[in-house]
Amino acid sequence: MSCPIFTIANQKGGVGKTTTAINLSAALAAEKIPTLLVDMDPQGNATSGLGVEKEEGVSLYGPIMGNGKAIEMVRETPIANLSIIPSELDLAVIETELGRIDNYLIQLRNCLAPLKKKNIYKAIILDCPPALGMLSMNGLAAADYLLITLQCEYLALEGLGQILRVMEQIKSSGANKKLKFGGIIMTMFDGRTKLSEQVVTEVRGHFKKESFKTVIPRSIRLGEAPSFGQTIFDYDNYSAGAKAYRSLTKEVIKRFSLK
Ligand SMILES: Nc1ncnc2c1ncn2[C@@H]1O[C@H](COP(=O)(O)OP(=O)(O)OP(=O)(O)O)[C@@H](O)[C@H]1O
Ligand SMILES: [Mg+2]
């Protein structure tokens, strides 16, 4: 596949979706894989976390609602080989407005199709908001692969069934028959607690094939980086978090044959 779309989703908030979207994208770009990060969260954390200014009218809101093209919304980032389609608050209106349009589930996919065809990028990473609403559903309908981030904490597995059921619905409804479960990325692992270990063991027990070997540690540096508008590689390239995201990226490149 020339340019797979990876949608990072989990309806649970604060489980490392955006941190993973930013640092996975940046690490792919560092491997000379031209990458596009699409910020689908009205909070715009991926946009600001990369040090990109939010601009009024610059998001996929217009294109998804039938006004303008996605390519007009692409902006450069401070990182070579990494572009972004930013988000801004308008995107939130999609949750209430999009339902009125025919084929509302596949609007995002239709928007991104020309970008995919153009062969400018070798990977598109989509960061979803913490809800299984219109934006995330469109994210799933546009995806080749669903990547789920899971925080190594109590009840981590509870929400997993729900998003996997939604994935099956998107497939069986015909909105995206080809959608594949790309894998589970376990985040915020705390080696000092038994609970983190237990979660990893349990997830690997259920999802042996899908679980990435790399587990992202809980790290203060990872939490700090976005407030400086920097990836972990620019903020602290030798931190445990940077090492983990590099290692995850190697697995992603291998699993999906991105090189
Ligand atoms: N491995 C980590 N170690 C420490 N802090 C982290 C780690 N990963 C993410 N964080 C921090 O935890 C918070 C939530 O992370 P993040 O924004 O990536 O989650 P999210 O799933 O995108 O959240 P939301 O659902 O609100 O979009 C952020 O403040 C982030 O900086
Ligand atoms: Mg987020």
pLDDT for the residue 162: 93
Cα–Cα distance measured from residue 105 to residue 211, given in angstroms and rounded to the nearest whole number: 28
pLDDT for the residue 158: 87
Residues having CB closer than 6 A to ligand 1 are 13-19, 41, 45, 129-130, 187-188, 216, 218-219, 222-223, 226, 241
Output the CA 21–ligand 2 centroid distance in Å: 9
Cα–Cα distance measured from residue 179 to residue 87, given in angstroms and rounded to the nearest whole number: 24
Which atom, in ligand 1's list, is nearest to the CA of 43?
27
pLDDT for the residue 1: 58
Instruction: Report pTM.
Output: 0.98
Under 8 Å between Cβ of 81 and 50: no
Task: State the Cα angle at 184 between 180 and 188, rounded to 5°.
Answer: 155
Beta strands in 121-191 (DSSP E): 123-127, 145-151, 180-189
Closest residue by Cα to atom 29, ligand 1, is 223
Cα–Cα distance measured from residue 103 to residue 101, given in angstroms and rounded to the nearest whole number: 6
CATH number at residue 108: 3.40.50.300
Among the bound ligands, name the one nearest to the CA of residue 22. 1
Q: Which helix (H) or strand (E) holds 74?
A: none
Which atom, in ligand 1's list, is nearest to the CA of 19?
18
End-to-end CA distance of the chain: give it in Å, rounded: 11
Closest residue by Cα to atom 10, ligand 1, is 223
Q: How many CA atoms lie within 13 A of 38 on its CB side?
A: 34
Substitution site in 11, 19, 45 for ligand 1 pocket (most atoms within 8 Å of beta carbon) = 19
Q: Count structural domains, the chain.
A: 1
pLDDT tens string, the chain, 259 residues long: the values are: 589 999 999 999 999 999 999 999 999 999 999 999 999 999 999 999 999 999 999 999 999 999 999 999 999 999 999 999 999 999 999 999 999 999 999 999 999 999 999 989 999 999 999 999 999 999 999 999 999 999 999 888 888 999 999 999 999 999 999 999 999 999 999 999 999 999 999 999 999 999 999 999 999 999 999 999 999 999 999 999 999 999 999 999 999 999 9
Residues with CB under 5 A from ligand 2 (ion): 17-18, 45
Closest residue by Cα to atom 30, ligand 1, is 223
Per the structure, the complete domain to which residue 19 belongs is given by 5-255
Q: Which helix (H) or strand (E) holds 223?
A: helix 220-224
Task: State the Cα angle at 253 between 248 and 254, rounded to 5°.
Answer: 100
The CA-atom distances, in angstroms, between 137 and each of 67, 85, 132, 213 are: 20, 18, 6, 27
Among the bound ligands, name the one nearest to the CA of residue 248. 1
